[in-house]
Structure 1
Amino acid sequence: MELQKLPWAGIRVSTEATSVVIDPIYYFPDVFGQSHEPLFPLGEYGPADAVLITHEHTDHFDPQAIIEAYGADIPVYLPQESVLLAKNSGLNRVIGASVGDVFQIGTLSAAATYSIDGVGDTQIAWALSDGERRLLHCGDTLWHGYWWKIAAAHGPFDAVCLPVNGAILERPDLQPPSGMPITLLPEQAAAAAHVLGAKRLVPIHHTAIHHPPVYRQTSDWQNRLRAAVDDTMDIAFLNTKETITL
């Protein structure tokens, strides 16, 4: 199983026979200004047999880019509550998923599991397995109490992709602002990876977006993550397009 980093929270997972992408984006949401990391058309990362989406926020779900790269008929799996939105975006093969649902996509098994959204929208995580290796992608989750259930049902994991930017959001429609992080802090990501039994932590959901006051990334996240993890597991700090083999 190979894991390729895409911008922001996206990854591409490949076996010899099957490839899927999770939360791929190309068209950057205007509300966040300019991306702080390079963005590339999705086709530059290679083909995909299916697209998995954790939730419908525009920094995770980019239907225009999906259609341009893979065609409107590619299977797109996303939370059940987001099916109508996805169908109205021009996608023809939309499959709704709820926690506990498992899908076979070529040689990969994809299970929908728990993820908690920072602003109360529906979100799921995706647990992938090729029969030998196991990977978890948690979207932009915040801290929750489901880590032990995820580990019991789908772990231990060869790699977990977890948000690390501890973002503070001040969206105009969410007033007054809470001042609380809507994604995992680096220290929380390290703790979650430990509970999940991960061999390797792959930081996602960082760098591209830092646009105060609307969206503020936490400070010094890389050094804080290193300190929190210490020598308990590997950390794969990947730039866009970099690939590792699990």
Structure 2
Amino acid sequence: MSTLEVIPFSEPLAERLAGPPTGTVLFWLGQAGFAIASAGRLVLIDPYLSDSLARKYRGRAFPHERMMPPPLAIGDLGPVDLVLVTHHHTDHMDPETLAPIAAANAQCRFVVPRASSGEATRRIGVGSDRLIALDATDTVEPLPGFTVTAIRAAHETLERSPEGHHRFLGYVFATGGARLYHSGDTVPFEDLAAEVSALAPTVALLPVNGRRAELTAAGIAGNLTLAEACQLAGAIGAKHLIAHHYGMFAFNTLEPAIIDRAAMEAGCAVDIHRARTAVEYRLSN
């Protein structure tokens, strides 16, 4: 059974990533983004490290100004071996983050929804030889000892491309005895827990910003609430929940104190950890 140790640190994240390997460790990059270091490899999930959305939406009804700076510059990531992208929204598939990563790491490949493979090619600037296009239930081993299984997600609905491929995905990522579930952006839907629990993740990385009618009406899809994230983490058999997708945009967040209070109460069947920068989440068996 994997355990999760929470280790604050004071040095820059770039120095932490460049240090000697310590098993399987996670770092939060903000929003839904995570870095996973294991076995000398660096894997990113949904990194948003630019300010592209602030420029795009400046002066509009929902400005996307950052509430938190990126925890490191894109150029300070060091060698990146693999990037998982859950869907096409820019805070998950950001051309100003992914294209520089692709240019600096010729060996790096990108796991993307098959429904968005064309958009991924355009935004990342790579050919199909560097894309690993998945649909729900597909499993691949993109690196030795690393497996990725795609799971359906509903943001806020289950959507398919004209070809029948799911537009939104989550991933169960397994390496070194650790099994992590990153749901992507999703709300609860029938059979989600059963699909994920069959893969036995011990750590769930789940959004907690919820959803609001006025945002949905404006075309800004929502996510799990904190209560729903707790329920889903328990239903899939995870022991730890790392709550994320908050603290980036003021119009679409959750107060950190609410997450901290839930972590101290006994209302959730799993251990709740609020995603924080300058914290290492270390998995061990």
Common topology (TM > 0.5): yes
For the Cα contact (< 8 Å) 1:42–1:66, is it kept in 2? no
Q: What's 1:75 paired with?
A: 109
The amino acid that maps onto 1:17 is G
Q: What's 2:209 paired with?
A: 165
Give TM-score scaled by structure 2 length. Answer: 0.74
The amino acid that maps onto 2:186 is T
Cα deviation, residue 82, structure 1: 0.5
The amino acid that maps onto 1:159 is V
Cα-to-partner distance string for 1:48-98 (whole Å, 9 max, x where unaligned): 211100000011111221221342742111111100111122123222110
Cα deviation, residue 209, structure 1: 1.3
For the Cα contact (< 8 Å) 1:164–1:204, is it kept in 2? yes
Which of the numbers 258, 276, 279 marks the counterpart of 1:239?
276
1:10 aligned onto 2:33 = yes
In the comparison of the two structures, how many residue pairs are matched? 236
Q: What's 2:47 paired with?
A: 24
Comparing 81-90 with 218-227, greater Cα deviation is found at 218-227
Comparing 37-46 with 142-151, greater Cα deviation is found at 37-46
- Alignment CA distance shift 1:181-1:194 (3 Å): farther
Q: How does 1:203-214 map to 2 (within 5 A)?
A: 203-211=243-251
Cα deviation, residue 197, structure 1: 0.7
Comparing 198-207 with 111-120, greater Cα deviation is found at 111-120
Which of the numbers 83, 89, 93 marks the counterpart of 1:51?
83
Greater Rg, structure 1 or structure 2? 2
For the Cα contact (< 8 Å) 1:5–1:239, is it kept in 2? yes
Q: How does 1:55-204 map to 2 (within 5 A)?
A: 55-71=87-103, 73=106, 74-89=108-123, 90-92=125-127, 93-104=130-141, 105-118=143-156, 121=159, 122-145=167-190, 146-152=192-198, 154-155=199-200, 157-168=201-212, 170=214, 175=217, 182-204=222-244
Structure 2: segments with no counterpart, 5+ residues: 1-23, 58-62, 160-166
Q: Write the distance in 2 (CA, Å) between the matches of 1:53 and 1:237.
A: 22
Q: Write the distance in 2 (CA, Å) between the matches of 1:199 and 1:45.
A: 29
- Alignment CA distance shift 1:14-1:149 (3 Å): same
The amino acid that maps onto 2:253 is Q
The amino acid that maps onto 1:91 is V
Give secondary structure in 1 for the equivalent of 2:195.
helix
For the Cα contact (< 8 Å) 2:39–2:176, is it kept in 1? no
Q: What's 1:217 paired with?
A: 253
Cα deviation, residue 241, structure 1: 4.2
For the Cα contact (< 8 Å) 2:80–2:101, is it kept in 1? no
Cα deviation, residue 229, structure 1: 5.8
The amino acid that maps onto 1:183 is N
For the Cα contact (< 8 Å) 1:198–1:233, is it kept in 2? yes
- Alignment CA distance shift 1:206-1:218 (3 Å): closer
Structure 1: segments with no counterpart, 5+ residues: none
For the Cα contact (< 8 Å) 1:18–1:106, is it kept in 2? no
Q: Write the distance in 2 (CA, Å) between the matches of 1:109 and 1:194.
A: 23
Q: Which runs of 4+ in 1 moved over 6 A?
A: none
Q: Write the distance in 2 (CA, Å) between the matches of 1:150 and 1:49.
A: 25
Cα deviation, residue 223, structure 1: 4.6
For the Cα contact (< 8 Å) 1:137–1:161, is it kept in 2? yes
For the Cα contact (< 8 Å) 2:230–2:270, is it kept in 1? no
The amino acid that maps onto 1:240 is T
Q: Write the distance in 2 (CA, Å) between the matches of 1:199 and 1:57.
A: 29
Q: Write the distance in 2 (CA, Å) between the matches of 1:85 and 1:97.
A: 14
